[in-house]
Amino acid sequence: MVEDSSSSRAAKVQEAAANVKQATSRRRGSQASEAETLARSYFEAISTHDLDAAVAHWAPGGRDRVHGHVDVNAPEGVRELIGNLLGAFPDLRMEVLSTVTEGEHCGVQWRLSGIFAGPQKLNGVAPTGDRVVLEGLDLLTVKDGLIQSNEAFTDTLTFPRQIGMMPAPGSRTEQRLAGAFNVKTQLKSLGTSEAGMIATGVWVVQGQPGRCNVYLIEDEGGVTVFDAGARTMSRLIATEAAKLGGIRRVVLGHGHTDHRGAAPALGAPVLCHLDEVQDAEGSGGFRYWPSDLAGLPVPQRQIHRLLHRMAWDGGPVEISQTLNEGDQIAGFEVIHIPGHAPGQIALWREPDRLALVSDCFYTLDMWGRSCEPHLPVDIYNFDTEQARDSLRKLAALEPAAAWPGHAKPVTGEVRAKLERAADS
């Protein structure tokens, strides 16, 4: 078929537009609104394969967005979209199943049917000769007798299933695919654990690498997240927080790479101590650590450099609010414990003497093995002597349990254990 010249096409569109206005005028006297009348006329034009008439229903520049597929503008984008559809289904029919109209908006539930005979491909898929029946919903906005915009939603699984591109629901093939996907999900979850309750209203999620601890504190129907762990934990944190109502905010114990890691992906306001903003929004601690982490033994240095870049750090995060000593948040008091980082904080709850302390101390060694509490190694500290003082300050609170940023908590004779760590 020879394509019409641009002048001939323009004349056809003008004639179609005049017919649309005339049809709309005739129907205004009925109970149907202008928006519904125009919507029905539009789908009729598509069903009768009158491409020029369909395009004539659109205001120039109008936006047609089929969610998950295309986002185009009238007239040429709409012409190409509908033209491709008609080229893929030469016997296409569009049936309006129902409409709901409010003011200038008309929602149309429709059913498309036809043989996928081509010659046009659909979404890059070559014609198969299969009969296809699809349903969807368009939300049209009509103003001044023309479509200004359309938000369209379609069933994205039915088409590939009807042409054999995807297995039928409930089939053995689908079950095998689901099984393979579940194995992939389980592999992603290796080294992580579901949230476990450690005190009233407080849950811990632990993930790898580094056995990072992230705390979920129940807070007015959602959770406050304390410390954001490694970037690799982003999905786990979001999943466990969703079970508790979703994330209201993220509080960083400090801004090192393995404690801000998941924060950029969590989609919630991020808070930290005033003295920690520079590192949370910047280098993640590298500004005061030795260049190339010099001072660590060679194997550990190479491993840690790789982990910072590939697993721990999610990158700089924007701080929406700062905290200071004595502030109250989610039922806890903010305690400033600088040294490992200039703005490191702990959260302290007096009634049950629970302390969430970030990296005030470690209970694992540089190879990730459990050990007695000790100060972080010098090269990772902003000021080691200040870190000693902060550990003594924490011990003086006499916690019943002190939960760090990595590995296991300190319980039992907590004060004595922490004082020994500070003095070692």
CB-facing half-sphere around the CA of 228: CA atoms within 13 A? 35
Give pLDDT tens digits for 198-255.
999 999 999 988 999 999 999 999 999 999 999 999 999 999 999 999 999 999 999 9
The helix (run of H) or strand (run of E) holding residue 14 is helix 6-27
Q: What is the C-alpha separation between 151 and 116, in angstroms, rounded?
A: 24
What tens-digit pLDDT sequence spans the chain (424 residues)?
A: 334 455 555 555 556 555 555 555 444 444 468 999 999 999 999 999 999 999 999 999 999 999 988 999 999 999 999 999 999 999 999 999 999 999 999 999 999 999 999 999 998 899 999 999 999 999 999 999 999 999 999 888 889 999 988 888 888 877 877 776 665 555 454 445 677 899 999 999 999 889 999 999 999 999 999 999 999 999 999 999 999 999 999 999 999 999 999 999 999 999 999 999 999 999 999 999 999 899 888 888 888 998 999 899 999 999 999 999 999 999 999 999 999 999 999 999 999 999 999 999 999 988 888 999 999 999 999 999 999 999 999 999 999 999 999 999 999 999 999 999 999 8
Cα(first)–Cα(last) distance of the chain, in Å?
88
Q: Using N-to-C axis directions, what is the helix angle for 76-88 and 34-47, rounded to 10°?
A: 50
Token pair of 28 as six digits: 């205004």
Start-end of H helices in 158-233: 158-162, 172-188
Number of CB atoms found within 10 A of residue 155's CB: 11
Phi, psi of 140 (to 5 degrees): -95, 140
Report the distance separating Cα 373 and Cα 130, nearest Å.
Answer: 67
Supply the DSSP symbol for 294.
B
Burial of residue 346 (CB within 10 Å: 0-12, 13-18, 19+) is buried
User: Is 323:336 a contact under the CB 8 Å cutoff?
Assistant: no
Instruction: Using DSSP, state whether 36 is helix, strand or coil.
Output: helix
pLDDT at 40: 96
- Domains of the chain with bracketed CATH: 12-165 (3.10.450.50), 191-423 (3.60.15.10)
Q: What is the DSSP string of 50-107?
A: -HHHHHHTEEEEEEEEETTTEEEETTHHHHHHHHHHHHH-TT-EEEEEEEEEETTEEE
283-298 pLDDT tens trace: 999 999 999 899 888 8
The Cα 313–Cα 107 span in angstroms is 45
| Residues 195 and 240 sit within 8 Å (Cβ to Cβ) | yes
337-369 pLDDT, tens per residue?
999 999 999 999 999 999 999 999 999 988 888
Q: How far apart are CA 357 and CA 334, in angstroms?
A: 10
3 state SS for 210-242: CCEEEEEEEECCEEEEECCCCHHHHHHHHHHHH
